[in-house]
Chains A and B, each alone.
Chain A
């Protein structure tokens, strides 16, 4: 606790591009944060390690108590903080518990490094080795922050692509973002892992990027397109593929963009492939794209209702659309509708 108290006087944190330290933070805030952590450090310390502390060989015996200590410290710290936010009416208990649950595994992940540091400090002269070890750790942290920054730049580039495309075609403004949000929900319904969901999100954002290469007269035509114009617009997946390949987008995403207009039974465009040769994820994009197109206004018709659009999707299930994706879409919509129905029934009662 003494260590933590002294160190808290020297801590400089970067929050919202501002450096915060003890001299520019309100006293009561600093006092509460420091006291909060002291309580969170002390109580589990007494309960798990006792007054005399951990006895015997550190490794591997200390691992389990250390994990327990870490979890308890985190939970006490979070609880004391959440109580403050609830009293300030800044957060709901349910939201806070969700956040706490999601952070706990990450905190436990950092625990082995704490044990390693303790083990080093326990060796003769080990505290100097621990200090030297900090350099590669800081380097790894820096490298990681560069990677995260590159991911941010990557997403900004994609956003810029989408904005420039939407500036060209006002009728589809917001379409890519809505398709992306919907595709992510379908993927979650299908229990895809987070990394794959990210790919689907990016592919959905970029699925119509090839329309940059299509003439505005065709994109903004208020009437139905003739055969020649239809053929021209059907080139947009291939133009999109050429565009995104130049910026080094992964091949899985490129494949989704290329095939988002392929039909389940074959005969779609640009390649006319059936479901045996097209990735399942491309069909997720296909359903999300079609659903958003049907439920949005177009120059030649007004938007359909969700119910009508879903009926069309089900009618085309196994023909144009992948049946499993349509089922996931229906389940997602049902899950969205159910609370509203329950809420309106409560209101009526």
Chain B
């Protein structure tokens, strides 16, 4: 067994996962995690098709009393204990002994997102960067430029920005506000560039910017988004919701309503023209 603290949650795996080395994944003498369900008690909860491990795949969630079985076409099945604390890749109902790169992408992709959701931590499809103590989360449709913008802010000469997330950002709500949990494997980045390595376990989110396509506007200006619309944006930009059962969907809805009130959200007109990036950076560095 190995365990790893991911986004503030202890998660157990039946083997060492190299992609988690940067988080201090280590072996534990703890007893093997049990898989306690029979195929007869499984009921299909959700079926969806999405981009998983480099291809469009059908993903199903099957529920048992003790946990969830995630079935991914062309990949391994993963058992997720109901508390989200154990993730076990399976083959023919038994823990898989040889794990491929694709299995690890399933494990650290939809399976981990679902496990964290079961523990009340929701994963936004987002990039994020911070300047000083101000953390800005970028949301937008796939291909809208979230990663490009974050990379520009961070890699710019003499930049004071630091990367926090590139693809997935786990978040929770607390009495103080919306919290980001950046110690999460960003599968788009190599091990040495994982932003979570050098960041605190949690960070308060200062604001959320939604990238909207806006070709040709001279001055990018942040425009405030009202709470109802903000909650809808969060609902639409959370990873893995198509795998949630009704109970999780209800919890997630409540989270989005709360989160919309905890962190201000803005519309950021965004063009992918390189020449526009300095003005966007300037707009982001202006005090709100």
The answer to whether A binds B is: no
Q: B residues within 8 Å of A by Cβ? A: none
Q: A residues within 8 Å of B by Cβ? A: none
